[in-house]
């Protein structure tokens, strides 16, 4: 019989705040994390704004000797996982560390470091003066390595990569390793630091980013007829997943159960979603099946909903196929409108949002959407403008990534 998996700790470094309470407060209040880019001179770029992490000083978290060995994506991973561990109340020196794992995701890994080293080389005389920490700073799995080394966790340790579905994939893997009895506790989540010339320039070249440079705060507008692309975000979000009996025996506060997960592929296009949302539909259906639930059980859906013209429509088509054309119980809110698209960290941020919706009885809003797209399916309860209070027993989070990767996770009140 498979073991039950619960969430006992969470941590967040996001464009809306560098702690879980700050992130949640600003999200519920409908604030936007978007602003002009400060990390580099973006004056010549088509898109000159993003949802940056603000006021994060690595010196508040790490020794100087450590900072020079870490890409920002690792710094976000470490800071958010430290908060999650504190939040969980786990005494890391009083548990069996061979039964504690780390499964962490990033879509791009050390993007900042890679660009910096290549640019430094290009500006030089051709002599290869490469930082000796270059490779361990850029590889995607290094965040999981850092977390395990910091605490001596010797259980399953690896990284997942499935573009913007990455951290949902990590959460599903972590859930399954605990279910199978391979670990008692797993720190999971995702982090990303893509706001640099290569990241913004690359996504801009694909025409994936909004160019609403005169009004950044309102640029991310899922489901709106005037949406013109996503707003890039960054940060790191962490969850402590724990076997239920292990958590109960130590008297842990339990936020929610990780009830099930589903993964699928569009098998359609390198970057575009399937126009009818076939892969998204399968991911949601399989997540519900894995959780032993029906569509009628779900109170809240946090959709992928990046604010791209094609992606939003195809996902909502999939939602209507799974939940029906006029679901009475289901409420939907697209929180990338506030926090931007954190790429490989998006699923972890949205998992936290789903879990907080369950524990707090609050559904945060979709902000900025004032002119709903007539092409969107009718009859869906999208929370616009302001948060609502509602008892949430079951919540689902959707994430989809380039390459056609889909991952949906279901959380349940316990």
Q: Which residue has the higher pLDDT, 378 or 248?
A: 248
Instruction: From 249, 279, 314, give the residue that closes a domain.
Output: 249
Last residue of a domain, one of 198, 222, 249: 249
The parent domain of residue 216 ranges over 5-249
Same domain, 138 and 283: no
**In this prediction, what percent of the chain has a pLDDT beyond 70?**
100
Residue 413 lies in a domain: no
Task: For residue range 96-134, list pLDDT tens digits in order.
Answer: 999 999 999 999 999 999 999 999 999 998 898 899 999
Q: Are 167 and 350 in contact (CB under 8 A)?
A: no
- Domain assignment of residue 335, yes or no: yes
Average pLDDT score over residue span 234-252? 98
- In this structure, are 60 and 161 located in the same domain? yes
146 falls within a domain: yes
Does residue 219 sit in the same domain as residue 298?
Answer: no
For residue 238, give the nearest of 41, 382, 83 by alpha carbon: 83
Mean pLDDT value across residues 89-94? 94
Same domain flag for 294 and 242: no
| 231 and 358 housed in the same domain | no
Number of domains in the chain: 2
| 256 assigned to some structural domain | no
Residue 390 scores a pLDDT above 90: yes
Taking the C-alpha atoms of residue 318 and residue 329, their distance in angstroms, rounded to an integer, is: 17
* Domain contains 292: yes
Summarize pLDDT for 183-224 with one digit per residue, the tens.
999 999 999 999 999 999 999 999 999 999 999 999 999 999
Report the run of H or E that residue 279 belongs to, with start and end.
helix 278-291
Phi/psi-derived region of residue 381, left when phi > 0, alpha when psi is between -120 and 50, beta in every other case: beta
- Per-residue pLDDT band for 11 (boundaries 50, 70, 90) equals very high
Say if residue 273 is in the same domain as residue 244: no
Q: What is the mean pLDDT of residues 21-45?
A: 98
**What does the pLDDT read at residue 161?**
98
Question: What does the pLDDT average to over 332-347?
Answer: 98
Is 341 noted as a catalytic residue in this protein?
Answer: yes
**Residue 113 shares a structural domain with residue 28:** yes
Q: Which of 51, 164, 237, 354 is catalytic?
A: 164
pLDDT value of position 222? 98
Can 164 be counted among the known catalytic residues? yes
Q: Are residues 354 and 399 in the same domain?
A: yes
Active-site option among 151, 218, 274, 304? 304
Q: What is the pLDDT of residues 137-173, one digit of tens each?
A: 999 999 999 999 999 999 999 999 999 999 999 999 9
Other Cβ atoms less than 10 A from the Cβ of 93: the count is: 8
Please, what is the Cα angle at 404 between 71 and 330, to 5 degrees? 95
Q: How far apart are CA 399 and CA 48, in angstroms?
A: 25
Whole-angstrom distance between the N-terminal and C-terminal Cα of the chain?
Answer: 19
* Dihedrals phi, psi of 17, to nearest 5 degrees: 150, 150
CA–CA gap between residue 299 and residue 170 (Å, rounded):
24
> Do 218 and 98 belong to one domain?
yes
Task: Assign residue 130 the CATH number of its domain.
Answer: 3.40.47.10
Q: How confident is the model at residue 303 (pLDDT cuts 50, 70, 90)?
A: very high
Q: Are residues 245 and 149 in the same domain?
A: yes
Q: Is residue 152 in a domain?
A: yes
DSSP conformation letters of 86-116: HHHT--TTSS-GGGEEEEEE-SSSSHHHHHH
Q: Which pLDDT score, from 0 to 100, does residue 363 have?
A: 98
pLDDT at 197: 97
239 plus 347 within the same structural domain:
no
Whether 255 maps to a domain, the answer reads no
Confidence of residue 304 (pLDDT cuts 50, 70, 90): very high
d(CA 233, CA 346): 9
pLDDT for the residue 177: 98
Q: What is the pLDDT of residues 253-288, one digit of tens each?
A: 999 999 999 999 999 999 889 988 999 999 999 999
Q: Rg (Cα) of the chain, in Å, rounded?
A: 20
Q: Answer whether residue 254 is part of any domain.
A: no
| 354 part of the active site | no
Q: 224 φ, ψ to 5°?
A: -85, 140
Q: Which of 218, 249, 280 is the C-terminal boundary of a domain? A: 249
Helices and strands per DSSP (H, E), number in the chain: 13, 15
> Mean of the per-residue pLDDT values for the chain?
97
pLDDT band of residue 1 (cuts 50, 70, 90) is confident
274 and 230 within one domain: no
Q: How confident is the model at residue 326 (pLDDT cuts 50, 70, 90)?
A: confident
Q: Out of 151, 246, 274, 341, pick the active-site residue.
A: 341
DSSP state of 343: G
């Amino acid at each position: 019989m498979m073991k039950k998996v619960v969430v006992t700790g969470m941590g967040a470094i996001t464009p809306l705040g560098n702690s879980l309470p700050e992130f949640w407060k600003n999200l519920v209040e409908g604030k936007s994390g978007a602003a002009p880019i400060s990390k580099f001179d973006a004056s010549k770029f088509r898109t000159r704004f993003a949802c940056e992490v603000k006021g994060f000083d690595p010196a508040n978290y790490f020794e100087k000797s450590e900072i020079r060995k870490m890409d920002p994506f690792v710094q976000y991973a470490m800071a958010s996982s430290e908060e999650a561990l504190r939040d969980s109340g786990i005494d890391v020196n009083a548990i069996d560390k061979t039964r504690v794992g780390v499964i962490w995701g990033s879509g791009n890994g050390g993007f900042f470091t890679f660009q910096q080293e290549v640019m430094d080389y290009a500006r030089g005389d051709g002599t290869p003066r490469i930082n000796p920490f270059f490779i361990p700073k850029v590889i995607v799995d290094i965040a999981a390595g850092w977390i395990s080394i910091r605490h001596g966790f010797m259980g399953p340790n690896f990284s997942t990569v499935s573009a913007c579905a990455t951290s949902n994939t990590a959460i599903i893997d972590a859930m399954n390793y605990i279910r199978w009895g391979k670990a008692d506790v797993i720190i999971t989540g995702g982090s990303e630091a893509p706001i640099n010339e290569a990241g913004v320039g690359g996504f801009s070249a694909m025409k994936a980013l909004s160019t609403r440079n005169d009004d950044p705060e309102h640029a991310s507008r899922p489901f709106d007829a005037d949406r013109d692309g996503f707003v890039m975000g960054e940060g790191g979000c962490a969850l402590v997943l724990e076997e239920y009996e292990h958590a109960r025996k130590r008297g842990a506060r339990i936020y929610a159960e990780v009830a099930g997960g589903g993964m699928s592929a569009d098998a359609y296009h390198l970057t575009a979603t399937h126009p009818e949302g076939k892969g998204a539909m399968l991911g949601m259906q399989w997540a519900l099946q894995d959780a032993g639930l029906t569509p009628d059980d779900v109170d809240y859906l946090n959709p992928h909903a990046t604010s791209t013209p094609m992606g939003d429509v195809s996902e909502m088509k999939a939602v209507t196929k799974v939940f029906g054309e006029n679901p009475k119980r289901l409420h939907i809110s697209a929180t990338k409108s506030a926090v931007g698209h954190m790429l490989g960290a998006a699923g972890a941020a949205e998992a936290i949002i789903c879990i907080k919706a369950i524990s707090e009885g609050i559904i945060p809003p979709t902000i900025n959407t004032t002119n709903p797209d007539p092409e969107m399916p009718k009859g869906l309860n999208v929370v616009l403008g302001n948060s609502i209070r509602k008892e949430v027993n079951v919540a689902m989070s959707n994430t989809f990534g380039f390459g056609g990767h889909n991952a949906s996770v279901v959380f349940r009140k316990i």
